[in-house]
Structure formats: C-alpha cells, structure tokens
Copies of this chain bind each other. A is one copy, B any other.
Amino acid sequence: MSKLARVYNRSRVPLYLQVASVMRQRIEVGHWRSGQRISTLEELEREFEVARVTVRQAVELLAEEGLLYCQQGRGTFVADEAPKRRWLNLATDWASLIEPIKDHIPKIIAVQNPPAGPVLGTGEGKAAHDYVYLRSVQFRDAEPFSIVSLHLARDLFDRAPAEFRKHPALPVLASFERPRIKRAHQTLVIGGADPETADHLKMGVGAPTAECRCIVVDEHDRAIYVGNITYRSDCIKLHMELFRRPSLRGSVREDAGRRPRARTA
C-alpha cells in the first residue's frame, strides 16, 4: 500500500471528501487564488493517487459550493468572486470581548427543561442563590455563528430583563456599576457539533466547533455569569497579544509589564 493510501485509511470518511477537504483548504488559504486555473484532472489524479472519477467527485462538490467551476476543454478554475471567509475576532481580553459583540442581536431559543443551575468546577467561584437559564443563537448578517447557553445570576437578570433578552449579556453586565467584577476568564477547546447544534448553526453533524466556557465572578467570588458558547469553527479567529514592550515611542497599550526573558542558554 502506498504511503498516501495509508494516510487516507486513518479516516473512514469517503476518499472524495478527503480530497475535497484538501482542495477547499488550498482555496481558503489562498494557495489557489481566485480565477486561477488549477491543476488538470490528470495531475490531481497523480498527486492524490486516486482514480479520475474520485477527483471529479471532489471537484463537483467544490463546484456545488461555488468555489470552483469547470470548462470543458479549458480546465478547472477557482471562482472569481473570492468567497472570502469573514472572521469573527474572538477576544482574549475583556475590552475587546465586549466591544465587537455589543451590537449583535441574539435570537432566544425556548428551553423546555432548563437545568437548575450551572456546574461549577474548582476555581470557578461560588454559586449564586438562583440563576436564569438563557439560550440563544447569535447572528451576523443573518448567518448564525454561535449558540450561547447561559446561567445568569437571577438578581442581576431581574434588574434589566428586557435588556438581557435583547442584547448579549456581557455588555449589559459590564454596564452595571454593581456588583463589581473581580475576574472573568474563558477556556476554549475544539469539539464536534451534535444534531441540535448542527441544526442551529447550519453545519454538518460532527463538524468542528469551538467550545468556550466563559465565567464572570463578582467581588464576593460569586459566579454571576456562567456561559457555554459553541461557535462554528470556520468563522472564528483568535488574536493573542503575547507580549508588547512598554514602548519608548509610539502607542502604549495593554501590557504585561514584564520583560519576556526567562533563563540563560
């Protein structure tokens, strides 16, 4: 068995879908540019070591997605209007988390059996007395990009229920003078969509998602916001400012204030 065949066999996904994934990726990262003619079917056959029909199935799929088009006698081309991916910048600090989402309009999902309260791990604070459970789908340009499942301390929700239903919760929360927020943190892992998620986010079952757990704790160590957010993984981009020296000239921004120097070689 050839080396490539062994790699294909690591997955039970049909071969033409694996080939299509690779080609799709090449278009999306710009390795194959808009309007450009891509390799001939024969070249692709040889490169991917699959039968001609298999390449064609992959090409057909991408053509259906609007990424490629074929012209008999001329070749296969990347679509001219670059269906550019539009990124949603996921924040790694509070200010840039609040800002871009505050104008999003969530669509509330009805919940039949709301959980009693959030399950809190160690270091996630103490539970509030009571929570409301809110579930919503977030949209941008009529395209759903995430599902938020949120436990919100009831006393805070009761202060502005209408606001909390119309807007994302974090900006509303940030607008309150009290209680003061002591800490907000978030962890992210990659998961796969279950049928309900896939339905809401218009994606395939098992397709990758980014699962965020975001927790806000007040000055009394009360977990006032405990949210699980599931994003389509194909529209998010994380930017991390790892280090920025307090600059001598130029813009001064958030800074760790620490020199990045660790040890001697």
Contacts and interface: CB of A to CB of B under 8 A. Distances in A.
A160 interface: yes
Contacts of A185: 239-244
B243 A183 contact: yes
Tell me which of A11, A199, A234, A257 has the highest count of chain B C-beta atoms within 10 A of its own C-beta.
Answer: A11
A191 B25 contact: yes
Interface string A181-215: 11111111111101100110011111110100010
A206 B17 contact: yes
A94 B256 contact: yes
Given A7-B205, A242-B185, A245-B183, A262 B22 contact: no
B25 A93 contact: no
A91 B183 contact: no
A104 interface: no
A239 B214 CA distance: 10
A195 B4 contact: yes
Contacts of A172: 265
Contact of A260 (B3, B7, B98, B102): B98
A190 B21 contact: no
Contacts of A175: 261-265
